[in-house]
Amino acid sequence: MAAYSDEQLKEIDKVLKYIKQMEGIIRTSPSREQVERVRKELKKFRDRLKELMPHIDPLKANPDEIREQLGLGKVAEVAVTGPAVPTNRADPDSGDILDRFPLQKASAHCTDPDVNLMATMLLVMQKDYWPAVSEQHCKLDFSSGNERDAIRVLLENAVRSLKVLAETIEEYATADKQDFREQLLKMKNKQTRIFLFETNEVMKKVRDFLKKLVDDLDRGGGAVMNKEDIIKTNARFEESNYLEGRVIRDAIREVEYFAGKVIERLNLPQFKIKAP
């Protein structure tokens, strides 16, 4: 095995992890659209592995064996399962939290289950959950408040990206000219990848931010200044009263849990690196 610099080893490490995770998704995903999208991405990273390690056949290479030869650890297998089966929805603590919200199409002609899932949950986050932790209901210290503002902007940008993708999907579905359809197909595929990866990253930021608040609450800290207040929505200014009557500290925990479940259900690879 050739000698590699620390930077080369880091990139090889990331590429191998990405390949292993995507191979797991291809083997286990019930979604044809997801498998097709992942195959395209997988080829890019196999090509990159060949550039980094010319003596390796990326189609036959075993990521775990290569990592072992380089002194790196094994990568956990990624499995994809179908949607969770809803249980008694009258009990807010039963079943998968995502099953409380019926999946909606991102647009009339959107058939990609990942896009429909993320679109549904993004809008649930924006409409039903985020208001509970917004400045209107949740008082945070200065540092946490600034971080919340930054995440709010990211959520708004994600919603705009969804609207752009939805328009492209509908344009492609209704286009007549073949050359125009081919251009729109490339746009749709690219926008789909960008929307899924970037919105997934936004959900991670939401989860990580709220996890810090949850940890602070558990320590008895002061980041949340009105943690015992009850949420009271105003129908004149708010679309949803989903968390009406909940205690702020409990609402924060539920929103953090919801974001984590969205990430878990979508099951995108953990490593987003720039492909050649």
Provide mean pLDDT across the span 154-172: 95
pLDDT (tens digit, 9 = 90+) per residue, 2-19? 577 777 888 888 888 778
pTM score above 0.75: no
The answer to whether residue 154 scores a pLDDT higher than 60 is: yes
What is the pLDDT at residue 83?
Answer: 35
What is the pLDDT at residue 31?
Answer: 66
What is the pLDDT at residue 173?
Answer: 92
Three-state SS string across the chain, please?
A: CCCCCHHHHHHHHHHHHHHHHHHHHHHHCCCHHHHHHHHHHHHHHHHHHHHHCCCCCCCCCCHHHHHHHCCCCCCCCCCCCCCCCCCCCCCCCCCCHHHHCCCCCCCCCCCCHHHHHHHHHHHHHHHHHHHHHCCCCCCECHHHHHHHHHHHHHHHHHHHHHHHHHHHHHHHHHCCCHHHHHHHHHHHHHHHHHHHHHHHHHHHHHHHHHHHHHHHHHHCCCCECCCCCECCCCCCCCCCCCCCCCEHHHHHHHHHHHHHHHHHHHCCCCCCCCCC
Q: Work out the number of other CB atoms within 10 angstroms of the CB of residue 124.
A: 20
What is the pLDDT at residue 36?
Answer: 77
Using pLDDT thresholds of 50, 70 and 90, give the confidence band for residue 64: confident
What is the pLDDT at residue 96?
Answer: 79
What is the pLDDT at residue 29?
Answer: 65
> Residue 180: phi, psi to the nearest 5?
-70, -40
What is the pLDDT at residue 39?
Answer: 82
* Greater pLDDT, 242 or 226: 226
Comparing 28-42, 114-128, 145-159, 256-270, the range with the smallest average pLDDT is: 28-42
Hey, where are the domains in the chain?
6-69, 99-266
Residue in the structure block whose two tokens are 């490593």:
271
The answer to whether residue 249 scores a pLDDT higher than 70 is: yes
The answer to whether residue 263 scores a pLDDT higher than 90 is: yes
Provide mean pLDDT across the span 97-110: 90
What is the pLDDT at residue 1?
Answer: 52
Q: Which residues contact 139 (CB under 8 A, 6 or more apart)?
A: 224, 225, 226
> Residue 275: phi, psi to the nearest 5?
-85, 150
